[in-house]
Amino acid sequence: MVISKSLHKGYKIALCISAFFVVLVTIHIIAKEGLHFFNLNLSKVYEFRRASAQTVAQGFFAYLNNWVFKVFNMFLLTWALYKNKKIFIIISLLLQVFFFAISAHKSVLFSPILILLIRYISSKKQLPVLFPFFYLTGIGCSLNIFLLFNNIWPLSLIVRRALFVPAFLNFKYYLFFQNNPLIYFSNSVFIKRLIHYPYDIPVPLLISEFIGHNPESWANTGFLGAGYAQLSYLGIIVYSVLIGFILRIVNNSTKTYPFWVGSSLIAIPIFSVFTSSDLTTGLLTHGLALGIFLLWLIKTNIAKST
């Protein structure tokens, strides 16, 4: 009885923590006059992103905003879907659109779409077939949009940005650090006091200059390129083992409730780790560690409710 009671409180704690920080970030955005940057035009996000970040994403909120956009609000959406609370589903979706309009990050807008897709596909028996089917359908629709309306943006997002850009950047990281000093985690806030960072600018800006892009653009890559930048091939191996260990923890935590619930909570941070962030950045900045913590809080209580 004592264990059951504490786990029930754990589930409530997860909801309360998520709701509290979602409300806090919303109030912070309004208080900082972030509404001046409200924009729903996907083609203009780069015009607003930097100014918005300088206003509403300074200090601790640079981290907290990410956690709210990618973990806390997505947890509330997942909970609402699981409990079939339609009003909370709508509120969570509207909040996510609001967060996108202020932050000017397209990933914020598409995060709930990924969760809704996971929820839908998980209810079907042909799970291994549906994922590639939907992706190929998206490519086909994007290609038709390009051919009919000469609009390359959907095709660029679904094909170029999702498939080619991560692979291209991983290879450029490999080329650069094959002939230049490795980082050895000296770009970390904690390690840089012990190990000298060998460059004058952050690694993503360094790689952007190396490939001849805008020197102010950030060439972020996933764990393969980032792992090589840290420890060469050993970094790739270590990161791969750690990610496998993390996924094993998540898998063990989701045995007592529907697979899609656990998948939804870590889908966005995991996607970042595979495509656009170092593993350490994914765990902290992108909220993967928080997602695992929320899974731990809710796992047995959900099993009890089912």
Chain segment 197-244, per-residue pLDDT in tens: 999 999 999 999 999 877 677 899 999 999 999 999 999 999 999 999
> In terms of domains, do 108 and 151 share one?
no
> In terms of domains, do 167 and 299 share one?
yes
pLDDT of the residue at 44: 86
Contacting residues for 114 by C-beta, under 8 A, at least 6 apart: 267, 268, 271
**Across 43-57, average pLDDT:** 88
pLDDT of the residue at 127: 65
Which residue type is seen at 125? K
> In terms of domains, do 31 and 102 share one?
yes
> In terms of domains, do 190 and 298 share one?
yes
> In terms of domains, do 97 and 152 share one?
no
Distance between CA atoms of 209 and 259, rounded to whole angstroms?
42
Chain segment 99-116, per-residue pLDDT in tens: 999 999 988 998 999 999
User: Does 155 score more than 50 pLDDT?
Assistant: yes
Task: State the total domains in the chain.
Answer: 3
> In terms of domains, do 141 and 94 share one?
no
Nearest to 21 by CA among 57, 67, 59, 52: 67
> In terms of domains, do 151 and 173 share one?
no
> In terms of domains, do 300 and 168 share one?
yes
Which domain does 87 fall in, by range? 1-123
132-142 CB burial, b ≥16 within 10 A, e <16: eeeeeebbeeb
pLDDT of the residue at 160: 87
- Answer yes or no: are the C-beta atoms of 122 and 258 closer than 8 Å: yes
> In terms of domains, do 171 and 75 share one?
no
Chain segment 74-91, per-residue pLDDT in tens: 999 999 999 999 999 999
Chain segment 232-262, per-residue pLDDT in tens: 999 999 999 999 999 888 888 777 778 888 8
> In terms of domains, do 256 and 296 share one?
yes
H-helix segments, the chain: 2-31, 45-56, 61-67, 73-83, 86-103, 106-122, 127-149, 153-155, 165-178, 203-210, 223-231, 233-253, 259-275, 279-284, 288-305
> In terms of domains, do 80 and 136 share one?
no
User: Does 97 score more than 60 pLDDT?
Assistant: yes
Distance between CA atoms of 43 and 273, rounded to whole angstroms?
25
> In terms of domains, do 147 and 169 share one?
no
Q: Can you give the pTM of this predicted structure?
A: 0.85
State which of 135, 161, 187 marks the end of a domain: 161
Chain segment 16-32, per-residue pLDDT in tens: 999 999 999 999 999 99
